[in-house]
Structure 1
Amino acid sequence: MAGTINRDDIAAVRERAPIEEIIGQHVALKSAGVGTLKGLCPFHDERTPSFNVRPAAGRWHCFGCGEGGDVIEFVMRLDGLPFAEAVEYLAERAGVQLRYEAGGSAKREGTSGQRKRLLEAHRVAAAYFAEQLASPEARIGRDFLRERGFDRAAAEMFGVGYAPQGWSHLSDHLKSSGFTIDELRASGLVSEGAKGVYDRFRGRLVWPIRDVTGEVIGFGARRLHEDDQGPKYLNTPETALYKKAQVLYGLDLAKSAIRTERTAVVVEGYTDVMACHLAGITNAVATCGTAFGTDHVKVVRRLMGDTGGPQTKIGESGAKVVFTFDGDEAGQNAALKSFQLDQQFLAQTFVAVDPDGKDPCDLRQDGGDEAVRALLDRRVPLFEFVIRTSLSSHDLETAEGRVAALRAAAPVVGGIKDRALQPEYARRLAGWLGMDVDAVTRAVKDAGRARQGSSHEPPAATGAIPVDPAVASARPNPRDPVVRAEAMSLGVLLQSPREVASDPLGAQVIADLDAAAYTVPQYRAVYEAIQATGVPGSVGSDWANDVAEQAGPTLAVVVSELAVTPLPHDRPDALGHWGATVLARVLDLSITRRIGDLRGRMQRAGAGTEEGQAAFAEIIRLETARRSLREP
């Protein structure tokens, strides 16, 4: 078991993976004031930049869509990676050696290094295959591509290569590059027989399969020669890098379009992905040697942002998934299996099937790019396709056949995500069956109740953050001067803690300020997180991220927003005192409110009473404290 990553190593990754460089590879960032960068948000479509990065704080936040976090969370959201994989990806780039912990025992040494070696072996193999495609022997592969409408530029775009015939061409090349036999075995690039290892892919056209970050983790190979007794398509076996149930071919090329358009197109083969992308459908992906399954759903959902909010209903997230299948029986079976996964999406699901049974590659050959785009335009809701498919397997000319068809189709209609559509499709089903509408509607309702009884609530959206109602309900009004003052003071503490703490006024205010000074519930909770994290004057380089972790997932986005909001101050030499006056303003407002409360208490208690005298004494103390804040 790998265990959890050492916390100090995670902090080292944040520190040594510059957030502005990582984000800058995906977002064009421009200066937006002292210490702040701004660009177009990669997580939603916008024309005016609202995506802010604060390198000194190590945080980013989009004021348009509300997303925010640290460099690790940026990679998680951008590439759809789990936390540990995002850390490992950044650690490799930053040169941080990770340590793993599980129950107090460290992870076996060498695992991280082995991953790097396997990735390097795949990079070398991909380059070798691509080079071999130009060889005389590979003419059969070039002909295969040309006959399907793919020229040299298309082959280069997708990294298509050729594995030469013979037993050890790739193995010899990798060994000459410094890789050991054990590394070759672990990579899945070789097979092993009685006489030792030999190339797994031989005499085949080869597609590199990349993970979401663009690293080659495996290959898919197509049979070309008649004497090849192997399967038509041969993939890399399960390895430490390659998990076919989690891999989608073309995801590295499609992730940007999937994220921007919030739509994923799932096709059946490598050439179908190529045809779609070349036709302008750049959000197309395909499974690799296995059916579309639960793990694929998770990958697609993360990229589309198919999570919604706490109140988002199934089918209302705005995301879409379009499946394309052949029109044959295998394609229908694939559609039926995909429908079983339908409830795991908040997205609306569709299916696009050519009436002549052609796949996207065939359509592009015969009708060009427009034919591929037309296929997607003809998509129909997945449930409608499944209904019609279930009806086609019954003899609707007989009463028995119609009843059997109703029993098969009613649960499909009863399971439609958009409840407003159910009555309409119940009427359509009655028409297709030639049965009474009321009878079909009753059958649909009964099937729907049975479905709810067996499955209870639909699965919650993965990635949805549980929100504390008390915090979520207190929506700060940005026009309120008190709200602005509280927000700016927290921005000062998150962005310039050392400078403020080194100023005499700042040190005084920090000592006297408490969470009760904040009237906005979110801001009060953030200040409590600041207090729990440490003393602003002695913070580490990962201060803002430490505060966000202390605040918890509900408030992490609020911390990000405060940590990247530009401060209206452009004199670094006077930043500390200016920040101190901002904090003093919050403390002054708090003292003023407390004095008002005490005056009311003194009036209610009456003059000369012990309670009234105590309130008066406290008022005098607070007035003195307030004057000291206001003195220049």
Structure 2
Amino acid sequence: MAGRIKDEDIALVRERTPIADVIGEYLQLRNAGGGSLKGLCPFHDEKSPSFNVTPAKNLYYCFGCGEGGDVISFVQQIDSLSFTEAVESLARQTGIVLRYEEGGRSTSRRDEGKRQRLLDAHRAAAEFYSEQLLSPEAVTGRRFLSERGFSRVHAEQFGMGFAPAGWQNLTDHLRRKGFTDAEIIEGGLASQGRRGAYDRFRNRLLWPVREVTGEVVGFGARKLDPAEDGPKYLNSPESPIFHKGRLLYGLDLAKREISRQGKAVIVEGYTDVMACHEAGVTTAVATCGTSFGEDHLKILRRMLLGRSNQGSKVVFTFDGDKAGQKAAVRAFAEEHGFTSETLVAVQPDGLDPCDLRLQQGPQAVVDLVEGATPLYKFMIRNIIEGYDLSSAEGRIAALDAAAPVVASIRDEGVRLDYGKNLDRWLGLMDESFVLRRVRQHMRRGGSQGTTRAADRPQDRPAPTPDAQSAPYDLRDPSVQRERQALKVAVKHPNLARGFDTLTDEDFTVPQHRAVLQLIRAQGGIANVTDPESWALTLRDAAPNDAQRDFVTRLGVEEIEFYGELDEHFAQQMLSTIRTHSINRRESNLKSELHRIDQIAQPEEYNRIFVELMQLGQQKRALQESDSGGM
């Protein structure tokens, strides 16, 4: 087995690998003077750049979180690699042949890092699929592309491929390349059957999903034969290298233009990304079978340099149907983490960018993006459309529904402007009255940006209070998250692994704690033997009409998600609830710690301090578990 990499080779890797180029693949860097570069730290969440890179010294350091090191330690940290794996990865990129203390090259497959092995397998798979797209069997796939206005040049630009209909075409090909069945299965390229490994993708058109660095880490696949079983779109499963919640399709192609233009366009599908790029909207990206979330937001914010880069824009494109409206609501929930301006582009006739380009030409796609509406305006207009503005009662009801959105705007000048517009849109002709209503909502907490007032009165699920009629505000993001988790636990207990570990402290309202206790009284999620009748079992066991009604609502309400409703989605949701619960407890303990006299009450001070340390350990363990893909 090859031994330790020679010190002089490690030094050569450091010398020949420009740290600014490597880090620039993950975040936008700008000149900070004195030979330094600055950007948003990729290792902690921040709004202003505190991550500094000094190319002359080949070092980086974040003054916000204290992370620092050289180009090797950066790659270790950002890609979760060992020191040896990071050196080998950089050596491959720079063409350096490494030598080891025991002699010889690192040619033994046993010596290669698991991550690199999986990346190599995906590179081989992408090449195989690309070649297959030219085969006679792929005529349906080529026809699919042609019907949508894409040529062979477009397919090659995006690295597209075709998975043959057989059960072991790719698996056999990778075996011949020296990859084991265990590696092929772990990477998500094959599944485990009773007779061994078999191809995950069969008779499908494929889009390779790449990291920002250009490495293929997974695939998105579209079914070509409607008569075949399986979903229309099938993505790679979660794996050591594929985490769909942290990937944006097309980012490897769009990253430089996003940084240069200070603009990112979020679309909903792979062909939409292709259509946008071909129309000249080269900053378009899409999520990979999941909803746009906090990790996606962090990636784009680093590319756009956060709030310090005034004038940057994020444009969401949505269909004009109800699903598109709901997607806009979710975008609004994430808006406060974005840069200065977030916009929504909705095509009234419901055409997505791909169909729009096909039917009306590429300029129509450009016009759609350029004509985007500010997200706040879209939300407010969307809300008031659900009310009868011909009556005084309807206008006042619309005002009370829309005022929290206006109140959530942080910039005072923008908030005032939207308050005046709201008065005009409602036809009240009394600006002072409208602005007074907005200020009332600000005092209630609306200015924290937690309002979800987009639910129209006819669409809004009415929460059922418990016997004590405790407050229940669906505009509160914590309530929204917890309600989503309870829906999964009630409707799909087979996906809610880990729900039983939640405690009363993890839920913010009595109604949710009551459902948790009800589930616990029935033996918990782990003991559900009949998932289909589980909701009815809970309903029948509810101790009173209020709880019975609440469980019923949970069992019939839609679960908001994109892509596949799978165990990973459920685990992410539960993990988020635990994290927010820990954050609440940490905040309370820190407040308590500040009120205690350390000298007069040393035992109490130490008790709280120890508890804070334990919570910090729990949070880190949870983060490590998430990064491993639950």
TM-score > 0.5, shorter chain as reference: yes
Q: What letter is aligned with 1:260?
A: R
Establish whether residue 92 from structure 1 lines up as the match of residue 85 from structure 2.
Answer: no
Query: 1:443 is matched with which residue: 437, 456, 461?
Result: 437
Structure 1 distance, partners of 2:224, 2:20, is 43
Is 1:432 matched with 2:425? Answer: yes
Structure 1 residue 112: Cα displacement = 7.0
Q: 1:52-71: CA deviations, max 9, x gaps?
A: 9998743599xxxxxxx976
Deviation track 1:552-592 (CA, whole Å, cap 9, x = no partner) reads: xxxxxxxxxxxxxxxxxxxxxxxxxxxxxxxxxxxxxxxxx
Counterparts in 2 of 1:349 and 1:27: CA distance versus 1, 3 Å:
closer
- Residue 15 of structure 1 aligns with which residue? 11
Tell me the equivalent position of 1:293. Answer: 293
3-state SS of the aligned residue for 1:209? strand
Contact 1:42 1:260 in 2 (8 A): no
Structure 1 residue 450: Cα displacement: 2.3
Match of 2:541 in 1: none
Match runs of 1:492-571 below 5 Å: none
Alpha-carbon distance between aligned partners in 2 of 1:395 and 1:150, rounded to the nearest angstrom: 45
Q: Distance in 2 between matches of 1:124 and 1:264?
A: 31
In structure 1, the residue matched to 2:499 is none
Residue by residue over 1:275-333, the C-alpha shift from the partner in whole angstroms, topping out at 9 and shown as x without a partner, is 1111222211100001100111111111222153xxxxxxx743221111111110110
Deviation of 1:449 (Å) = 2.8
CA distance in 2, matches of 1:183, 1:209: 18
Q: Distance in 2 between matches of 1:147 and 1:323?
A: 26
Where 2:306 maps in the other structure, the secondary structure is coil
CA contact (8 A) 1:266 1:323 kept: yes
Q: How much does 1:453 deviate?
A: 7.2
The equivalences for 1:56-75 within 5 A come to 57-58=57-58, 72=71
- Structure 2 residue runs of 5 or longer lacking an equivalent are 39-52, 62-67, 99-108, 451-630
C-alpha distance in 1 between matches for 2:349 and 2:335? 26
CA RMSD of aligned residues (A): 3.7
1:263–1:454 distance in 2 versus 1, CA, 3 Å: closer
Once residues 211 and 81 of structure 2 are traced to their aligned partners in structure 1, the CA distance between those partners, rounded to angstroms, is 11
| 2:358 counterpart residue number | 365
1:396 deviation in Å? 2.6
Is 1:82 aligned to residue 91 of structure 2? no
**CA deviation digits over 1:437-483, x for unaligned, max 9?**
22221121122232367679xxxxxxxxxxxxxxxxxxxxxxxxxxx
After TM superposition, the structure 1 stretch with the greater mean CA deviation from structure 2, 354-363 or 117-126, is 354-363
Q: 2:218 matched to 1:225?
A: no
For 1:94, the aligned partner's letter is A
Question: How far does residue 416 in structure 1 lie from its aligned partner after superposition?
Answer: 2.0
Q: Which residue of 1 aligns with 2:149?
A: 149
AA in 1 matched with 2:71: I
Match of 1:131 in 2: 131
- In the aligned structure 2, how far is the partner of 1:111 from the partner of 1:417? 53
Distance 1:23 1:286, change over 3 A: same
Q: Is the 1:323–1:350 Cα contact (8 Å) retained in structure 2?
A: yes
Deviation of residue 257 (structure 1)?
1.1
Deviation of the 1:340 alpha carbon: 0.3
Alignment check: 8 A CA contact 1:13 1:91 kept: no
2:220, 2:234 within 8 Å by CA — same for their partners in 1? yes
Residue correspondence of structure 1 range 370-385 to structure 2 within 5 A: 370-385=363-378
Q: Which letter does structure 2 place at the counterpart of 1:448?
A: M
Corresponding residue number in structure 1 for 2:394: 401
Contact 2:14 2:71 in 1 (8 A): no
The amino acid of 2:397's aligned partner reads: A
The alignment status of 1:169 with 2:163, answered yes or no, reads no
Deviation at 1:153, TM superposition (A): 0.5
SS of the residue aligned with 2:191? strand
2:118, 2:187 within 8 Å by CA — same for their partners in 1?
yes
State the alpha-carbon separation in 1 of the partners of residues 405 and 111 from structure 2.
47
Give the corresponding residue for 2:191.
191
Distance 1:50 1:216 in 2: 31
Residue in 1 aligned with 2:598? none
Residues 177 and 74 (structure 1), Cα distance of their counterparts in 2 relative to 1, 3 Å cut: closer
One of 313, 326, 331 as aligned partner of 2:319: 326
* Contact 1:148 1:362 (8 Å CA) reproduced: yes
AA at the equivalent of 1:205: L
Distance across 1 between alignment mates of 2:111 and 2:290: 27
Q: CA deviation at 1:16?
A: 3.8
What does residue 330 of structure 2 align with? 337
Distance 1:446 1:13 in 2: 66
| Deviation for aligned residue 1:196 | 3.0
TM-score by length of 2: 0.58
- Aligned mate of 1:414, from 388, 404, 407: 407
TM-score normalized with structure 1 length: 0.58
Cα gap change, 1:60/1:348 in structure 2, threshold over 3 Å: closer, same or farther? same
Equivalences for residues 236-251 of structure 1 within 5 A: 236-251=236-251
Mapped to 1, the partners of 2:359 and 2:31 lie a distance apart of 34
User: How far apart are residue 12 of structure 1 and its match?
Assistant: 8.8
> Is the 1:75–1:86 Cα contact (8 Å) retained in structure 2?
no
Structure of larger gyration radius: 1
Could you say what secondary structure the match of 2:438 adopts? helix
1:168, distance to aligned residue in structure 2 (A): 1.2
Q: 2:216: which partner in 1?
A: 216
Range moving further from structure 2, 341-350 or 398-407: 398-407
State the Cα distance separating 1:91 from its structure 2 match.
Answer: 4.7
Render the CA deviation track for 1:91-110: whole Å, top value 9, x for unaligned: 5223799xxxxxxxxxxx98
Q: Are the counterparts in 2 of residues 51 and 60 from structure 1 also a CA contact under 8 Å?
A: no
Aligned to 2:268: 268
Aligned-pair CA distance for 1:13: 9.4
SS at match of 1:416: coil
Task: Please report how far the alpha carbon of residue 23 of structure 1 lies from its aligned counterpart in structure 2 after TM superposition.
Answer: 5.9
